[in-house]
Amino acid sequence: MNFKSVSSKAKIALGTCLALGLTSTPVLASAVLEPNDFVGISFWLISMALVASTAFFFLERDRVSPKWKTSLTVSGLVTLIAAVHYFYMRDVWVATGSTPTVYRYIDWLITVPLLMIEFYLILSAIAKVPGGVFWRLMIGTLVMLVGGYVGEAGYLAVWPAFIIGMIGWAYILYEIFAGEASKINANSAPKSVQSAFNTMRWIVTIGWAIYPIGYFFGYLTGSNPADSAAALNIIYNLADVLNKIAFGLIIWNVAVTESEAKH
């Protein structure tokens, strides 16, 4: 890519992403990442991948038609917000060896609704979508996240909280597989959008299933706390790669495909 051809807004976005890596302050200045700390290594790798993805999504906005720019912007915001939180989470882990639950859920409370908005946005780019689709996806998302948080933070017993979170997830799956969003996709979307929508909802099905697995290994197996914390964080970190970066790449692909088909 010729950097001179990049828009000034994209240059600013890229500069912001690069600055993130320079402004992260460790929780403890003496904390050092150990070569056998695989959880800490996963935090560092994914935080850098999120920064790179953010730069990519913002720069690629110049390749797509106007109706797809918002979708790519949201994808970039998801990875940007996640990157900032990963800087803090990796420092907490390296310095203390404890699970950064609060940072993770602050991240999710912002980024997961944005991921749900992507379903609404890609359908809105090709059809008129009722506002009810947006609000049903938001309600399911909040129920899922609140259920998970009150269990992990100790406000509610882990099993009831787990069940509440699963109910919210099931509600989302119904909307994107059998509800109004699914019907609009089947009846109004071109093949490229249908393909992206289908892949996105399978990520929400299979990729998001990784989070309950992490919750289970972190809180419901009865293992010692250190092993449980390590399993929980590695599983959550791998899930975020699929559910944030790969999710955004699917949207980027359909946006570029649709835009280039118009030329």
Give, to the nearest 10 degrees, the angle between helix 158-177 and helix 191-202: 170
Q: Does domain 38-254 have CATH number 2.60.40.420?
A: no
**Main-chain dihedrals φ then ψ at residue 218, nearest 5 degrees:** -80, -30
> What would the two tokens of residue 109 be?
């409370």
Distance CA 196, CA 213 (A): 25
Secondary structure class of 15 (helix, strand, coil): helix
Taking only Cα atoms into account, the Rg of the chain, rounded to an integer number of angstroms, comes to 19
Residue spans of alpha helices (H) in 61-190: 66-96, 101-124, 131-152, 158-177, 180-188
The per-residue pLDDT string of the chain (263 residues; one tens digit each, 9 = 90 and over) reads: 444 444 555 555 556 555 555 455 555 444 688 888 899 999 999 999 999 999 999 999 998 988 889 889 999 999 999 999 999 999 899 888 888 899 999 999 999 999 888 888 888 877 788 888 889 999 999 999 999 999 999 999 999 999 999 999 999 999 999 999 999 888 888 887 888 888 888 888 988 888 999 999 999 888 888 889 999 999 999 999 989 999 999 889 988 888 887 66
Q: Please tell me what DSSP assigns to residue 206.
A: I
The single residue listed with the structure tokens 């150990």 is 34
Angle at 202 between CA 77 and CA 260, to 5 degrees: 60
> What would the two tokens of residue 243 be?
């559910």
- For the chain, report the end-to-end CA distance as a whole number of angstroms: 20
Domain ranges of the chain: 38-254
Distance CA 35, CA 164 (A): 38
Q: Which of 53, 51, 18, 10 is nearest to 246 (CA)?
A: 53
